[in-house]
Structure 1
Amino acid sequence: MKKITYIIWASALLLATSCASRRSEPVKGRSFNANRSEVVHGEQLFMIHCQKCHPGGEGGLGIAINSNPAPGFVKRLQMRHGLGVMPAFSKKELSRSDLKDISSYMRAWKHY
């Protein structure tokens, strides 16, 4: 029961902080050099699993995630369990380490 309450609370927090259209500048045309292995791996995973709905981290089919102020653990919770039309990614699809690498990639873009 406590886990369900946590998921509901985290989902509500995510919705409250991410229900806006694009707030960041487009990333097209900018070169990005990933220099840490977890960022490089996160970029690869993002391109495979996330790019089709969040092109360049911007809103496409999904919401813009470049400017989403939600904490990393909330974003990882959403990646694991899904929310709304976003699919859940099982541990077989994306390990805990994979989720952290995707977060590292998105954080690297944010600080770019």
Structure 2
Amino acid sequence: MIRITILVAGFFLLLSLSNCGTARRGVPMFAPLQIENPAVAKGEAVFKSHCQKCHPGGTAGLAPSLNNKPLPGFMIRYQVRHGLGMMPAFKEDHLPKEDLDNLIAYLKELKKADQQL
């Protein structure tokens, strides 16, 4: 009897949690980016191919948000090159220096756009 009660309570808990969502549904997470700088445009392509899966749009996903981290460029560079926690390291043979520079330029634009909302 106790097992059934626990199972039913667990089911209703899962059911109620499945209806939880963000209040921002349908609201953009950040202002639209005005990508005029070619380095930022290239950085966006690098981001989409290497980072988007875990940090969708720079926000939290499988990994923490990037938009609210006050890290300067050299710290971002270090974290990308050496990894941290679950984040893999992207060595220079996998992510060339120019691509990393462009990625950092794009991340700075994402952070600015996030702060504008």
TM-score of the superposed pair, with normalisation by structure 2: 0.68
Q: Distance in 2 between matches of 1:109 and 1:70?
A: 13
Q: In the TM superposition, what are the counterparts of 1:55-74 in structure 2 within 5 Å?
A: 55-74=56-75
Query: Percent same amino acid among aligned pairs?
Result: 42
CA RMSD of aligned residues (A): 1.4
Q: Unpaired runs of 5+ in structure 1?
A: 1-24
Q: Unpaired runs of 5+ in structure 2?
A: 1-27
Q: Distance in 1 between matches of 2:69 and 2:98?
A: 21
Q: Distance in 2 between matches of 1:54 and 1:61?
A: 7
Which one of the candidate residues 29, 37, 58 is aligned to 1:26?
Answer: 29
Moved over 6 A (4+): none
Q: Distance in 1 between matches of 2:110 and 2:79?
A: 19
Highest Rg: 1 or 2? 2
Whichever residue aligns with residue 58 of structure 1, its letter is T
Offset, 1:33 = 2.5
Whichever residue aligns with residue 101 of structure 2, its letter is K
Offset, 1:32 = 2.0
